[in-house]
């Protein structure tokens, strides 16, 4: 199976704080990975380094064989990595449909499209129609098409999270990073989300990496899990291995629990 | 230039810097607490001068009573503006508060034009505003320094020391510093945030009045737009020093005052551009360290 | 959502509207007084100012306070290109105008376009360092920029004639030029906003970090918006200079930016149709308020005219606007045929229901 992502000895510091400390990891095509650890362990920072929000101080990120360390976020998204955010960052004042269509803007590579769009050439009108059609189709696939013309901020919380995922999917990624997608959800919503993530992975042939605190989600859908604490990788393995790993238990509970 | 001239320019520069610092403190305190650029602050400065002027000319107060009256009246004006125009917008998007501040500034300028008249009024001893003894010169060897300049510098420094004492040694000051970090949390601790915020405006406006009177004694004129350019420069001083930091405002004020006077002193042909130096310094600081000399890095959480 | 009109119908309606406005302007040009024509010209120019500022501030979310600077550049460049050579010699008393400007005289259209391009060029140069800053810092930096341009204009005697300014500018601006350019401005900017680029700009305004993550080159799009807005600001400046026929650095102080800000906020920050409405109301309203400045009678009471009263009322209005009606007239929404259609059909349905 092909390796989609490789994180080689990545370190990220903020002044005196080492947020990510020589992290090593990889993701294979089609895997559903988990990234867990106590608060402040550096999980989101790792996502930020992978997606280009921060450049690594040491080490590098290799995506589909190319070194993408320190590339700009929009370049990395164009290469095929998409993400959602810990705190929902929807374009609140725009409609659900517009939120998804924004993700298609990266199709317009050359500035020539700017002039075509202003002059409303037949080519640009066709492109707009196509973007519209694709966006509606995507919304149908995730079950949000009835909300297409609603303002994003008017959606209930659970659907907002879904919309964020849909928006990320619209960038046609090969790797999808989800940052605490189940945060704030009740058990029913969480269960639906779990099924949704698995379905998305299968339907869109993606590789997915999930940061989560909700262990039901992680143990329920992840095939392989990375555990971080104080920026370091402290464990890696399948759910059963992680659950019985003493270092992991210590990190979460602060002491070794003797069974 | 010779040493005597250099010293004269320097002291002059420092006194101007002191005035800028006094005004800058008002900007930085308000920004530190409300994240609002109080565009009207420069006009509050102008009204400080007008109130002192009319205190003498209209109400026939002795000059020193008029000056003290002006300080309190201007402080009150600042509080009034806060209550009427800024408090209702405390939870509104920042751009709305900013536009309102611009509106208040505009209002103060035009109101002054209508009520006080657009023509400049003289603010000097010849018209009896304050005693002519202020215009004396002190001579130390070859160095000639106007009493006014030394007075300005001293009063500015004393005012700043007073302010620092209030901010760091009193309970009110502690509340002010707490609020600048986190308003809701401070409220939970039992602090009446609204009163403290109003007090901040009172302090800042009072200092602006002091700065205004000192300015008017130095540049003996007042007209509705007197405060616009010094106000803008003082705000730049606050940004340069680190917006939100009182010490930063003082440092910034002196930097701006010194560079303005000294650059023209050394390169007289640039005199027409003296107002632009502030913007040049601003641009430089914003490019190199946007948070300012004494500013604290605030990064957005991704 | 309700019924929507087909695109064909909407296009027809828009075309009809433009023709109707064009016809009205044609009639006005022939029959109205000079005063009314002046107001109409000012209205068109204010529309250009307001819509170009809306693109930068309202749509893209770049809080720029330096618009007056680009207007100044447009005004000065166009004037320096259209003034007859002899007039230039007469006007530039302190220092002669530099070569080759002192030899050139161009017709209005190329001069206006060049003015816009140079304003846009300045916008490009200025954008890169400024856009590194966020929010308030950006506002102050652009304010300082606008002021710096004014100060340079005040001191560059051999280019701008310094504080003396330029006079006897050929009065080229007429209804066709001003409204022609106004239509062009609205068309270009509205077309931009209704495209994928418009969505990208709005996304940048809503959340630039999320926009980055969705593959948008935020910086280049912000620059594009800034440059385009500056271009039209320059064009508006050119039209304005050739309307009022004298310009000097004082005309381009921060007050000018402030006036445009009022227009935009009144109409709704973030709406192009709002900017048009705001600019129109402001232009007309300002003239109405002029009444306050000369003596008038209100019922039994004689009011003495006070010069400057206009601006006082204006500023109070702005404060009241912000305190009670931040959204402005249109908020962030656009006036559209669908909106109008829905409004009309709802009214008709109500009327029909009552008759039952």
B296 part of a folded domain: no
Whole-number Å distance between alpha carbons of B83 and B87: 5
Which of C184, C185, C186, C196 is the best mutation test for A, with the most CBs of A within 10 A?
C196
Residue B15's domain spans which residues?
Answer: 3-228
Is B256 inside a domain boundary?
no
Could you report the per-residue pLDDT of B14-49, keeping only the tens digit for each?
A: 999 999 999 999 999 998 888 888 999 999 999 999
pLDDT at residue A259 is higher than 50: no
| Residue B77 falls inside a structural domain | yes
CA distance B215 to chain A (A): 43
Asked if the C-beta of C339 comes within 8 angstroms of chain A's C-beta atoms, the answer is: no
Q: Tell me if chain C has a CB within 8 Å of the CB of B96.
A: yes
Is residue C202 within 8 A of residue A94, CB to CB? The reply is yes
Compute the CA torsion angle C339, C342, C343, C346 (nearest 10 deg).
-170
Distance between CA atoms of B136 and B127, rounded to whole angstroms?
A: 16
Q: Is B31 a domain residue? A: yes
| A49 touching chain C per CB within 8 A | no
pLDDT in tens, A161-205: 999 999 999 999 999 999 999 988 899 999 999 999 999 999 999
Within 8 A by CB and 6+ apart from A117, the residues are A108, A124, A128, C191, C192, C195, C196, C197
Answer whether residue B152 is part of any domain: yes
Verify whether the Cβ–Cβ distance C206 to A85 is below 8 Å.
Answer: no
Does residue B255 lie within any of the structural domains? Answer: no
Q: Which residue does chain B place closest to C264, by CA atoms?
A: B99
The domains of chain A are located at 3-253
Contacts of residues B75-79 at CB distance under 8 Å and 24 or more positions apart, as own/partner, are: B75/B202, B75/B203, B75/B205, B75/B206, B75/B209, B76/B202, B76/B205, B77/B44, B77/B47, B77/B205, B78/B26, B78/B44, B78/B201, B78/B202, B78/B204, B78/B205, B78/B206, B78/B208, B79/B198, B79/B201, B79/B202, B79/B205
Alpha-carbon distance of A80 to A78, in angstroms, equals 5
Q: Does domain A3-253 have CATH number 3.20.20.210?
A: no
* Region at B221 (left for phi over 0; alpha for psi -120 to 50; beta for the rest): beta
On whether any CB of chain C is under 8 Å from the CB of B62, the answer is no
Query: Any chain C CB within 8 A of the CB of A157?
Result: no
pLDDT tens profile B73-125: 999 999 999 999 999 998 888 778 888 998 999 899 999 998 898 888 888 87
With cut-offs at 50, 70 and 90, classify the pLDDT of residue A251.
confident
C150 to chain B: closest CA residue: B276
For an interface test with C, the pick among B273, B276, B281 (most C C-beta atoms closer than 10 Å) comes out as: B276
Of C139, C147, C254, the CB nearest to B279: C147
Binary contact (C210, A77; C-beta < 8 A): no
Instruction: Give the C-alpha separation, A213 to A218, whole Å.
Output: 8
Q: Which domains does chain C have, with CATH numbers?
A: 7-342 (1.10.3470)
Looking at the partner chain, which of C197, C212, C224 has a beta carbon nearest the beta carbon of A74? C212
Would the CB atoms of A102 and C200 count as touching at under 8 Å?
yes
Cα–Cα nearest to B85, from B38, B28, B155: B38
- Å between A26 CA and nearest CA of chain C: 21
The number of domains in chain B is 1
A 27-66 residues inside an 8 A Cβ radius of B: 44, 48, 53
Q: What is the pLDDT along chain C (356 residues), one digit of tens a residue?
A: 445 677 788 888 888 888 988 888 888 888 888 889 999 999 999 999 999 999 999 999 998 999 999 999 999 999 999 988 888 888 888 888 887 877 888 899 999 999 999 999 999 988 887 887 777 778 888 888 888 899 899 888 888 888 888 988 999 998 999 999 999 999 999 999 999 999 999 999 999 999 999 999 999 999 999 999 999 999 999 999 999 999 999 889 888 998 898 899 899 989 999 999 999 999 998 888 877 666 666 666 666 667 677 888 888 888 888 888 888 888 888 887 777 877 788 888 777 655 54
Query: What is this structure's pTM?
Result: 0.89
């Amino acid at each position: 199976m092909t390796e989609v992502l490789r994180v080689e000895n990545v370190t990220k510091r903020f002044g005196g704080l080492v947020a990510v400390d020589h992290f090593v990891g990889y993701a294979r095509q089609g895997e559903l990975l988990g990234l867990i650890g106590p608060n402040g362990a550096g999980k989101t920072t790792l996502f930020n380094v992978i997606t280009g929000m921060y450049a690594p101080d040491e080490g590098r990120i290799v995506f589909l064989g190319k070194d993408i360390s320190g590339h700009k976020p929009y370049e990395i998204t164009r290469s095929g990595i998409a993400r959602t955010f810990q705190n929902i960052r929807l374009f609140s004042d725009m409609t659900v449909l517009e939120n998804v269509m924004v993700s298609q803007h990266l199709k317009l590579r050359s500035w020539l499209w700017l002039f075509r769009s202003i002059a409303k050439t037949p080519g640009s009108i066709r492109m707009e129609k196509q973007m519209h059609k694709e966006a509606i189709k995507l919304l149908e696939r995730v079950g949000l098409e009835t909300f297409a013309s609603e303002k994003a901020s008017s959606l209930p919380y659970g659907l907002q999270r879904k919309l964020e995922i849909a928006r990320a999917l619209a960038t046609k990624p090969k790797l999808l990073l989800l940052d605490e997608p189940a945060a704030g959800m009740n058990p029913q919503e969480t269960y639906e989300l779990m099924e949704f993530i698995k379905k998305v992975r299968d339907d869109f042939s993606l590789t997915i990496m999930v940061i989560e605190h909700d262990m039901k989600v992680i143990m329920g859908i992840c095939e392989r899990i990375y555990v971080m604490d104080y920026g370091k990788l402290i464990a890696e393995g399948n759910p059963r291995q992680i659950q019985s790993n003493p270092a992991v238990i210590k990190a979460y509970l602060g002491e070794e629990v003797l069974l | 230039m010779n040493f005597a001239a250099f010293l004269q320019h320097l002291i002059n520069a420092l006194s101007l810097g002191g005035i800028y610092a006094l005004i800058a403190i008002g900007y930085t305190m308000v920004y530190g607490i409300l994240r609002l650029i109080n565009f009207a602050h420069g006009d509050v400065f102008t009204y400080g001068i007008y109130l002192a002027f009319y205190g003498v000319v209209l109400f026939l107060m002795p000059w020193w009573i008029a000056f003290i009256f002006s300080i309190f009246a201007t402080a009150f004006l600042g509080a009034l503006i806060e209550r009427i125009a800024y408090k209702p917008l405390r939870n509104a998007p920042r751009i709305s508060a900013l536009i309102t501040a611009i509106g208040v500034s505009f209002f103060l300028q035009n109101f002054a034009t209508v009520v006080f008249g657009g023509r400049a009024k003289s603010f000097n001893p010849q018209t009896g505003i304050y005693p002519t003894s202020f215009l004396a010169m002190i001579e130390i060897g070859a160095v000639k320094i106007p009493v006014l300049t030394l007075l300005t510098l001293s009063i500015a420094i004393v005012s700043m020391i007073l302010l620092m004492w209030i901010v760091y040694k009193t309970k009110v000051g502690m509340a002010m510093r707490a609020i600048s970090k986190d308003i809701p949390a401070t409220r939970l601790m039992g602090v009446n945030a609204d009163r403290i915020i109003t007090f901040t405006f009172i302090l800042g406006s009072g200092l602006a009045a002091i700065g205004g009177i000192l300015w008017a004694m130095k540049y003996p004129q007042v007209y509705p737009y007197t405060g616009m350019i010094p106000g803008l420069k003082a705000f730049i001083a606050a940004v340069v020093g680190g917006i939100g930091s009182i010490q930063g405002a003082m440092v910034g004020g002196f930097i701006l005052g010194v560079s303005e006077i000294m650059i023209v002193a050394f390169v007289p042909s640039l005199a027409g551009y003296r107002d632009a130096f502030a913007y040049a310094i601003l641009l430089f600081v914003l490019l190199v360290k946007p948070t300012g000399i004494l500013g604290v890095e605030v990064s957005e959480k991704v | 959502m309700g019924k929507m009109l087909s695109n064909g119908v909407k296009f027809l309606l828009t075309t009809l509207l433009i023709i109707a406005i064009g016809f009205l302007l044609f009639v006005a040009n022939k029959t109205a007084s000079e005063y009314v024509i002046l107001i109409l010209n000012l209205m068109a120019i204010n529309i250009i100012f307001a819509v170009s500022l809306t693109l930068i501030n309202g749509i893209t979310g770049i809080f720029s306070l330096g618009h007056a600077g680009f207007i100044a550049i447009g005004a000065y460049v166009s004037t320096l290109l259209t003034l007859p050579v002899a007039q230039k010699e007469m006007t530039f008393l302190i220092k002669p105008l530099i070569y080759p400007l002192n030899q050139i005289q161009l017709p209005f259209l190329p001069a206006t376009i060049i003015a816009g391009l140079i304003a846009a060029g300045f916008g490009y140069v200025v954008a890169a360092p400024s856009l590194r800053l966020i929010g308030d810092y950006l506002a102050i930096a652009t304010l300082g920029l606008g002021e710096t341009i004014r100060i340079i204009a005040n001191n560059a005697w051999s280019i701008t004639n310094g504080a003396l300014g330029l006079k006897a500018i050929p009065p080229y601006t007429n209804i066709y030029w001003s409204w022609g350019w106004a239509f062009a401005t609205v068309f270009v900017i509205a077309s931009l906003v209704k495209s994928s680029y418009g969505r990208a700009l709005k996304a940048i305004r809503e959340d630039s970090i999320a926009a980055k993550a969705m593959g948008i080159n935020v910086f280049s799009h912000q620059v594009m918006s800034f440059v385009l807005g500056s271009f039209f600001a320059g064009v508006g400046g050119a039209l304005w200079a050739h309307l009022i026929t004298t310009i000097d650095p004082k005309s381009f102080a921060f007050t000018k930016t402030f006036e445009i800000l009022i227009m935009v906020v009144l109409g709704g920050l973030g709406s192009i149709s709002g900017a048009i409405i705001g600019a129109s109301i402001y232009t007309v309203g300002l003239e109405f308020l002029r009444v306050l400045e000369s003596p008038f009678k209100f019922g039994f009471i004689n009011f003495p005219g006070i010069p400057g009263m206009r601006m006082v009322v204006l500023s109070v209005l702005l404060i009241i606007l912000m305190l009670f009606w931040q959204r402005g007239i249109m908020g962030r929404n656009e006036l559209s045929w669908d909106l109008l259609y829905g409004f009309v059909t709802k009214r008709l349905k109500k009327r029909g229901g009552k008759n039952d």
